[in-house]
Structure formats: C-alpha cells, structure tokens
Amino acid sequence: MMTVPESREHKKVYIRILMSFIGCVILTLLATSTILYMNFEDIALKQVYHANSNSLVQIKNEVSKMTETATSLSSQIYNDSAVSKLLYYENPNIYDAIFAQQQLDNYRASLPFIESIYVYNAKSKQFYISSHSMRNGIQPKAGLDDEGILNIFNNFKKYKPFQPIPRTYNIGSIEKTKVSSYTYLCYSVINDNDFLNTAVVVNIADSWLTQRVEPTDGNPAGEQTFIMNQDGILYSKNWIKPILTDLSDLSYIQKILTDTDSSSYFVDTVNGVRSLISYTSPDTLGWRYVRITPYGNITHDISKMRFRTLYIIGGILLLGLCVSYIYSHRVYLPFDKVLRKFKTLEAEKRDHQYILKQDFLRNTILGRETNLSGVIQEKLQYFESKLIVDHPSCLVLLKIDQYAYWLEHYHGDLKLMKYAIMNISAEIASSTFNVETIDMGENHILLILNIRDPLQEHNQEAMLDMMHEMQTSILNHIKLSVSFTASPMNESVEQWTGAYIQIMEASMHRLFKGHGSIIFSQDIMNLKSKEYVFPAHKEKQLSESIMKGSMDESQSIFCVIVSETEQYPFAVLQLVISHLTITINNILRSLQKNNAFIVTPDFDMSVSSLNQAETMEEIHLPFFKLFEDISRMLEEKRSTKHEDFVNKVHEIVAQHYSDPNLSLNFIADQLSISPIYLSRLYKQLTVNSLSDVIGEMRMNKAKELLRLSEYTVSEIAEKTGFTNSSYFYRIFKKNNGITPNDYRKNTQAAADH
C-alpha cells in the first residue's frame, strides 16, 4: 500500500525540479536573447567601423608613401647633374638635352604610376616633358598644352613644395585628352621674386590612388570610399563623382567637416540610403578619408540570423517542454539517481584507465618503464590495447603547425583538439595497423603503428598516402595543419626509445621543409655522414655588407649561408646560427666603438628560440630586422655629418661676412678641402651657391645697420665686406629697388609714424 504514495511523491518532486530547471532555462534564454536583440546592431556597427577605420588608415599610409616617393623623386631630379643643364642653361647643347631627356624618361619608367614629369627653365621659357603619351620633348611656355600648370606657376606661393595638388587638365595639341593627377612642385625662386626661376613638376596619375581607394571590379553593394580636403572638395575619383567635385553642401559631409580633429562614425542618409559613415581625422596634408557603407549591407544577414536563431530557440523550447511533460510522468527520481550514479562510476573508471594507459605508453617510449617485452605485453593486455610487441612497429611523430598561435587563441580547447587529432589519426591508421596514440605534451602526438601480420611488407608509398589522408582529414574537420615524421620499422619494443629520439631530431627539419611536411627519419639520419665546412668567405662578405649598411646584400648572403645547412643534421644549423650571432654581435661592438651608433641594437638568437621556430622565415626575421636597423642607423649617421658640414659653412660666413676676402677659396681653406669640392657638395646639399649665401648675409647686415646705426653708407659698406661704396650702392639698388639713403629714410619715417 505504501508503494503507490511513494511513487506519486517521487513523481511530483521530479516534475517540480524538472519544471524549475526548464523555467530557469527559459528565463535565461529570453533575457539573453533580449539583450542580444537590443545590442546586436550596435556591436555590428562598431565592428564594421573598426574594419573601415583600419582600411582607411591603410589608404592614408598609401598616400603618405606616395608623397614621400614623389618628394624623394622630385629632389633627386632637381639635384641630378644631367637635368640641371635643362634647369639652368638657357640653350643647352643638343647632346646634353638628349641625355637629360633620357634621364627624365628613366625616372618616369622607374615608377609606373607617374603620369608625367616637367622641367621648367624660366630663362628659355621652355618646358621639358617626359610622359607616357606622345608629349615627350620640349614645349614653349606660351604653347604649353597643360594650361593648369601655368595657373599653378602664377600662384605658386599658394602651394607648399612637395605636397600633392589634385587637379584635372587637358593635354594634347589637336585632340584634347582629360587627365586627372596629383602634382608635386619642386622649385627655386631668386630673391623672393613673384615668378619661378626653375621648377620640377611630378604628376602622379590619379588611377594609382583610385585603385587603392576603390576596388578594381567596381562596388555593386553601393559602398563608397573617397578622399576630401578640409573644405569638402573631393580629392579622389570614385565610381560616382569626378575629382575636385565640391561635396560641402551635403549634410553628412558638413557633419564630418564640423568634427575637425577626431576620427569617428555616424549613421545618416546618403543618396536616399541609410548608411554608416566612417571617417578619419585630417592627416598632415589636411586630407580626410571617408567610407560610406549602406546600412542594409551590415544588418541584412544579421537580421536574418537573429530572427532565425530566435525561431530555433523558441521551437526547441516548445518541443523540449512537450517532451519533458510527457516523459516526466514515466520517470521516477530514485531510478534516475541510481542510473546517474552508475554512469558516473563507469565514466570515472574509463577516464582513469585512459590516463593510466597514456602514462604507461609515454614512460615506455621515454625509457622510464622496463623494456622486457613480456612485461610490456601483459600491461598492454590489461589496458585492452591491441598492440603486439613481437610484431614490427613504426613510430610516427605528429606536430601541430603554428602551435604558438593556437596555444594563444585556443588555450582552453587545445587538449580537445589534440584528442580529436588522435581519434582521426587512429581511425585512418586502424584499417592497416594496430594503433595507439600518445599525447607527448606541447604540440607532439605520437602514433605507434603495429603490424598485425608479421609477414606483411612495409610499403613506404602506402605509408606516405596514409599520412596525406590524415593531414587532409584533420584540416577538413578541425582546420589544423600538421606535420609528420616517421621512423623505419622497429623489430622489437626495445628499439622504441631510440627510434623516438631519432624522429624528434629529424622533425626539426620541418624548419626547411615547411608546414605540412612529411619527413622520414632515415633520410635525415643519412645526412650525418656528410661533413660540413663553414663558408668563411661568405661570412666575410656578410660582415662587409653589414658594415657598409647594405641591407639587401646582407639578407641575401645570410639566406645562402643558412640554406646550405639543409643537407646536414639539425645541429649544424644550430652551430651556424650561434656562430653568426657571435659574428654579428662583434660587428655591432665594432660599429659602436667607431661611433657609428649612439645606441647599439639588442640582438640575441638563443638555441631555445631556434628550437621553437617552425619555419625558416621565423629564423630570418630577427636577423633581417637587425640588418634593416643597422642600415637605417648608418644612413642617419651619414645624414648627420652632412648637416654638420652645412652648419659649419654657415658659421664661417656669419663670423667673417665683414671680411672683403671672404670667398669660396677662403671657406675652403678654413675647412681644409678643395674649393671645387666645397662648391659642388654645398650646392648638392642646399641647392644654393655659396656666393649667393655670402651676398645675402652681407645685404641683410647692411639693411640692419642702415635701420639701427648712424654709420655713413661708406662705413656700412666697409663693415659689411664690400670693397667700395659705389659697388655697394649699385648692388643694394639692384637687390632692393632703392638706394641705401632712400632705404634709411623710408625705414626712419615708418618708425616715426
């Protein structure tokens, strides 16, 4: 009689617990879904903005590189000795003109995105043009087909040198062709005149920047990316509007222009479409980078996935409630407790046995267990292993590629991934072998492949196919790349430890063969018979290239030295890297001792970091970075010496401007160098002649004495280094348009007022 009440009571308790659990699940899912529903779009907008921001920063870097390249090229052309004859000679001879034109063509051809190069000579009023079109040659200023550059020349003071000027202009004498480009000016002006004396113009085709701003295959999704200045003028051509279009009257552009300093985003309507507008702060040119992403592109798939998820959750909950309600009446709590306890004990026993078997196999491979075949076979049978120790066995070491990345991003799931790899490998190999898999720690998994039939022949090709199948299956199922190293067949279990040591050493050759490689340890062991001779002559070449700052040559020689070690045991690579590390550190100390560096770069390539590397690129990277740092620091040292030279010349001129003997020869004697070398080097570094610098210094001092002293004009001429007062009068009036006395009167009158 007591059985029924107890049964009903158990049923009620079970239903209450079940319903409480389901209620908590429902509330949790509803609360989570509501929060996700409310915040999903905001999160998506931020993610898209960050992606757009990174893309816009890359475009900004491209523009910066374009400006640096154009600046460097303009300066190089301007200082080119061959081109200077076009700049300064009114009528250069035909051979010099042809050679200079070829130089311009070479400069243009060296950078394919250059549309054209102009060299302007004010004396001859001629333009020398190098272009991809038929415009090559000489065009007079009066008949120049590019009228836009003449407007820039007439107002050149509005433009800063070496900064891009976006413009659209027509070229061609008969059939006009519209061209858009970014123009860079490099010019000289004598005595602050309102006209250019000489100029070099580099026009970079807008198509080069357009390809980086907009995709080459158009933008069917409606996304726009463009560049504008601080006034809202379009500075990049896109698939809707041409360059130099005024966008400032658009409401969303006005919002961007109002925010003058920061990078941000907002949602607004663009051409009738609700869109996400991302923009950057102004760069050094005052340019801003804008990307417009239609809102529907962001939210379309998100909305579908969001509602689909809600429907699925609702369906699962409804089905679960129905099934739980129906079967809860048939389940009793005591029976459930017994069943759960039984399953728990069973799982604990299975997991404990698996751990014990892994420890036993690992210790056997490492030589920590007794290697008597009879004892090992008994333990294998205890752990229900199918291995037969008297049959030949092959050890296969599996390494996870890019292990550091997976360890960093999937640390909590890495054990689960390794367990999946072991199952996949065992399943594939079990069709041919008795298999055991062992987790050897870190990124190492060991397979013991035991031949079932002693008469079965070991086929290396079949083994290779099997490992390829494992790689493919692992990549498809868990998206991991793995490398294999296989040992020869071992006749007895006593050989397992030695075979494991060999495959561990051979697996280091993944450095040379790359990720996903398959290595047979016997091939690597055969390399030990070869004798390695360190290439001392190449080491000397490497030292010389590092000392002179030749980065490319240093990298090339280093790669040759290291790549030659592939045909030798891994220890040879370790010794070579250690030797090269010592050599390079000696070079660094030598450069520091010779004052080539103020701060010596830190460099240490330890054996531990070498053993952790997976590819040769990881070995090359720290060395290549060091070569680059040395090259850059040596170049900075050379630039500092040039600045010191120019400053020293200016100090001599400032100290001796009153000396009538101050001249090119005088300064050359002070610096103990030849006058010709002094003149050429100074002009190459400053684009000015020393005589102009001396004359400008004397004239400025003369103006200062006329304004601030009571000396006579003759006395001022003497104090500023002029040989006689009449010459001083003539030079002063030529440079300033009035006589010294009139200049003094005008300045005094201005001071009185």
Q: The CATH number of the domain where 150 resides is what?
A: 3.30.450.20
The CA-CA-CA angle for residues 52, 53, 58, to 5°, reads 95
Mean pLDDT of the 258-279 span: 85
Q: Mark whether 459 and 492 lie in a shared domain.
A: yes
Q: Mark whether 612 and 554 lie in a shared domain.
A: yes
Q: What is the pLDDT of residue 319?
A: 72
Q: Mark whether 360 and 499 lie in a shared domain.
A: yes
pLDDT at 60 over 90: no
DSSP per residue, 34-68:
HHHHHHHHHHHHHHHHHHHHHHHHHHHHHHHHHHH
Residue 183: inside a domain, yes or no?
Answer: yes
pLDDT at 330 over 70: no
Alpha carbon of 558 to those of 548, 585, 616: distances in Å?
A: 15, 15, 12
pLDDT at 255 over 70: yes
Q: Mark whether 628 and 702 lie in a shared domain.
A: no
Residue 736: inside a domain, yes or no?
Answer: yes
Q: Mark whether 498 and 424 lie in a shared domain.
A: yes
Q: Mark whether 702 and 728 lie in a shared domain.
A: yes
Nearest to 489 by CA among 505, 503, 472, 510: 503
Cα 104 from Cα 203, distance rounded (Å): 13
The answer to whether 36 touches 306, Cβ cutoff 8 Å, is yes
Q: Of residues 321 and 357, which shows the higher confidence score?
A: 357
H/E element holding 120?
strand 114-121
The answer to whether 448 touches 490, Cβ cutoff 8 Å, is no
The CA-CA-CA angle for residues 75, 79, 84, to 5°, reads 125
The answer to whether 317 touches 330, Cβ cutoff 8 Å, is no
Residue 484: inside a domain, yes or no?
Answer: yes
Q: Mark whether 489 and 537 lie in a shared domain.
A: no
Q: Mark whether 609 and 686 lie in a shared domain.
A: no
Domain ranges, residue 428: 349-526
pLDDT tens, residue by residue, 88-100: 888 888 888 888 8
Residue 652: inside a domain, yes or no?
Answer: no
Distance, C-alpha 97 to centroid of its chain: 42
Residue type, 748: Q
> Looking at the 3D structure of the chain, how many domains does it have?
4
Q: Which pLDDT band, with edges at 50, 70 and 90, does 3 fall under?
A: very low
Q: Mark whether 515 and 375 lie in a shared domain.
A: yes
Q: How much is the mean pLDDT over the chain?
A: 81
Residue 309: inside a domain, yes or no?
Answer: no
pLDDT at 688 over 90: no
CATH classification at residue 362: 3.30.70.270
Mean pLDDT of the 247-273 span: 85
**pTM beyond cutoff 0.95:** no
Residue type, 314: G
CATH classification at residue 736: 1.10.10.60
Alpha carbon of 585 to those of 28, 579, 597, 625: distances in Å?
A: 62, 10, 13, 14
Residue 611: inside a domain, yes or no?
Answer: yes
pLDDT at 228 over 80: yes
Alpha carbon of 42 to those of 23, 223, 340, 598: distances in Å?
A: 29, 19, 44, 50
Q: Which pLDDT band, with edges at 50, 70 and 90, does 207 fall under?
A: confident
Sheet holding 482-486, edge to edge: 433-439, 444-451, 393-400, 482-486, 518-520
Taking the CB of residue 584, how many other CB atoms lie within 10 A of it? Answer: 22
Q: What is the pLDDT of residue 328?
A: 56
Candidate from 68-77, 150-159, 367-376 with smallest mean pLDDT: 367-376
Taking the CB of residue 203, how many other CB atoms lie within 10 A of it? Answer: 26
Q: What is the pLDDT of residue 5?
A: 40
Residue 605: inside a domain, yes or no?
Answer: yes
Distance, C-alpha 190 to centroid of its chain: 43
DSSP per residue, 677-727:
HHHHHHHHHHSS-HHHHHHHHHHHHHHHHHHH----HHHHHHHTT-S-HHH
And the tokens for 676? 């010709």
Q: Mark whether 538 and 504 lie in a shared domain.
A: no
Nearest to 128 by CA among 109, 101, 155: 101
Residue 647: inside a domain, yes or no?
Answer: no
Q: Mark whether 563 and 501 lie in a shared domain.
A: no
pLDDT at 576 over 50: yes
Q: Mark whether 465 and 390 lie in a shared domain.
A: yes
The answer to whether 655 touches 586, Cβ cutoff 8 Å, is no
Cα 400 from Cα 515, distance rounded (Å): 9
Q: Which pLDDT band, with edges at 50, 70 and 90, does 489 fall under?
A: confident
**Reduced to 3 states, what is the DSSP secondary structure of residue 348?**
helix
